[in-house]
Amino acid sequence: MNYKFITEFSNALHTKKISSVELTRYFLDRIKKFDKQLNSFITVCEDEALKEAKKADELLAKGQAHALTGIPIAHKDIFCTQGIKTSCGSKMLDNFISPYDATVVKKFKEAGTVLLGKTNMDEFAMGSSNENSFYGPVKNPWDLSVVPGGSSGGSAAAVAAHLAPAATGTDTGGSIRQPAGLCGITGIKPTYGRVSRYGMIAFASSLDQGGPFARSAADVALLLNAMSGFDEHDSTSVNKVVPDYSSTLDQPLNGLRIGLPKEYFGKGLDPEISKLIHEAVEEFKKLGATIHEINLPNTELSIPAYYVVAPAECSSNLARFDGVRYGYRCDNPKDLEDLYKRSRSEGFGSEVKRRIMIGTYALSAGYYDAYYLKAQKIRCLIRNDFVEAFKKVDIILGPTSPTTAFKIGEKVDDPVSMYLSDIYTIAVNLAGLPGISIPAGFVNKLPVGMQLIANYFEEGRLLNVAHRFQTVTDWHTKIPEGF
């Protein structure tokens, strides 16, 4: 099966070189063979997948297929899937079988995709390393001793190891782009409101956004076509026409203005990563782009602002998990208060408890103005930095993460150090902008991600710029040795 990309798989399916059943069995076999090493899946849906593949083959035979018909994919285990466990990587939801499909899941079903299974993740999407899962840490296929990034590390590792040609993820502060960068694949976080959050279990409602992982920008364009669009079930969904992202991939970059924020290339960035990013900039110059230094002066405030806003919203969203309605319930509670306390203390992991406590404190009487309100004001300053920058440039470019993937366990007892790994991604969520991470090389045999940021609803331009870079480089074609 010498195919790497969804575009190749789609062509092979439509020309009858392979069937969806054959393709699905191929990936199910790879999951059986390799996932014991990676722990990237929580649930594998073998029987359901083969049934869906058979239906896809019938559509292909009738000539009623779409571009993604018959393509196997995986969903991050934060998206509700009817009749299949949706755990959010937590003991709290280990027994939860969703009674409905998330809108993203429904849209992919309508496109004819085949669900391979649900991928591992940091509990309730809280983490930067995928070490916070009730089901154990996910390992990076490039080096099994290092993290894949989080919180969508299971999806990123599965795509990087070729256990699935594509997967969904969610991005609250970098949780698509950071694992995409650390695993050497392509991942996009769309503009807030572009992809429905209905059925995507909430962490921080004003920051969460779903998006796809794949090997190339061209593949991601196909996936984003399928999952984008207005949803009346989601009050934050934007009623705006979705363009065909695949149709503009090959547009030339002549005259494109690329901004390099000086704040992204200072202290804390690995010099070898900086060198690779500047080599990528030279490729863009050859493609016709012009380079401009810009300032995003409030960048350093993004992490403290985020770690007030996100925990506050998490505290509110996770209040529903009380041991009464659904999810984990403690044994033999003495009374209602004991039920609440023990169900939550036993059902949630340490990182989730930490963020709930911080968020509850920030929202409490006497502290709301000092913390939450001030963080929201800083959020406006960060957004304004980007508004001013996009008056001068079309795309902002920088590293996705300040280092390559770190060792499993290295930062687990140092939350602040862990939080700093998202220094370049968090501001994008606070501003609600779209961002993409694409492979830009290797340092010590570990992948390096390059982040591109665009103005609101300009995902098409992001994908165009990423695709043009991938036509003159081959970093996105690499597969980890042994996989």
Residues forming the active site:
76, 151, 175
Distances from the Cα of 90 to the Cα of 36, 37, 78, 80, angstroms: 20, 21, 10, 14
Phi/psi of residue 306, nearest 5 degrees: -60, -45
DSSP assignment of 405-444 equals: PPBTTSSTT-HHHHHGGGTTTHHHHHHT--EEEEEEEEET
Residues 149 and 139: beta-carbon distance below 8 Å:
no
- Residue 231 is given by DSSP the state -
Residues 269 and 235: beta-carbon distance below 8 Å:
no
| Cα dihedral 202, 203, 207, 210 in deg (nearest 10) | -60
Phi/psi of residue 108, nearest 5 degrees: -70, -35
Please, what is the Cα angle at 174 between 447 and 36, to 5 degrees?
55
Distances from the Cα of 451 to the Cα of 83, 174, 246, angstroms: 37, 10, 20
- Please enumerate in sequence order all residues whose Cβ is within 8 A of that of 44, keeping only pairs 6 or more positions apart, or say none: 28, 31, 35, 116, 117
